[in-house]
């Protein structure tokens, strides 16, 4: 076996063939599947890179990942990032607050008023008005 080739098992080959025929898979998964498929057919890293639109180093990396973990190489690694600190129940309470009557002296809620009121009522320990906006945006609220 040449270093630049991947030898797929029959089940993996059938899975990739079915996957590549689908029209609604993420582009990153398609590129990885196509890379493995072409390497199995005997293409070099450079040829696959041209066909798929990646670098030959990326093709090599994906081939190595397939050798180590099989078809799990098609999946993205978990992304790092800040975990969600406001739970679903808190989000629901903030949304309900936005749907309630505005405080006296105001025609309607602003994001800053909602953030301050949510902290005042003990719904959350702290929250920015931009986070309130994100919460309401996900609920299709007309406030944002």
Task: State the total domains in the chain.
Answer: 2
**Are residues 66 and 21 part of one domain?**
yes
**Structural domain containing residue 21:** 10-74
Least confident segment among 31-35, 110-114, 140-144: 140-144
- pLDDT tens per residue, range 95-139: 999 999 999 999 999 999 999 999 999 999 999 999 999 999 877
- pLDDT tens per residue, range 38-52: 999 999 999 999 999
The number of beta carbons lying within 10 Å of the beta carbon of residue 25 is 14
Mean pLDDT of the chain: 89
Integer Cα distance of 106 and 70 in angstroms: 60
**Are residues 126 and 97 part of one domain?**
yes
What burial class does residue 58 get, using C-beta atoms within 10 Å of its C-beta: 0-12 exposed, 13-18 middle, 19+ buried? middle
**Are residues 117 and 61 part of one domain?**
no
CATH of the domain at 46: 1.10.10
């Amino acid at each position: 076996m040449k270093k630049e080739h991947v030898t797929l098992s029959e089940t993996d080959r059938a899975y990739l063939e079915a996957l590549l025929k689908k029209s609604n898979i993420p582009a990153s998964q398609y590129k990885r599947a196509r890379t493995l498929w072409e390497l199995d057919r005997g293409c070099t890293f450079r040829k696959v890179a041209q066909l798929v639109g990646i670098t030959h180093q990326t093709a090599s990396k994906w081939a190595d990942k397939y050798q180590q973990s099989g078809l799990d190489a098609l999946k993205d690694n978990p992304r790092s990032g800040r975990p969600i600190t406001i739970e679903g129940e808190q989000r629901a309470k903030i949304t309900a607050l936005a749907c309630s009557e505005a405080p006296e002296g105001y025609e309607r809620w602003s994001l800053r008023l909602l953030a301050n009121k949510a902290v005042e009522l003990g719904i959350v320990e702290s929250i920015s008005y931009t986070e309130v906006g994100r919460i309401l945006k996900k609920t299709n609220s007309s406030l944002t």
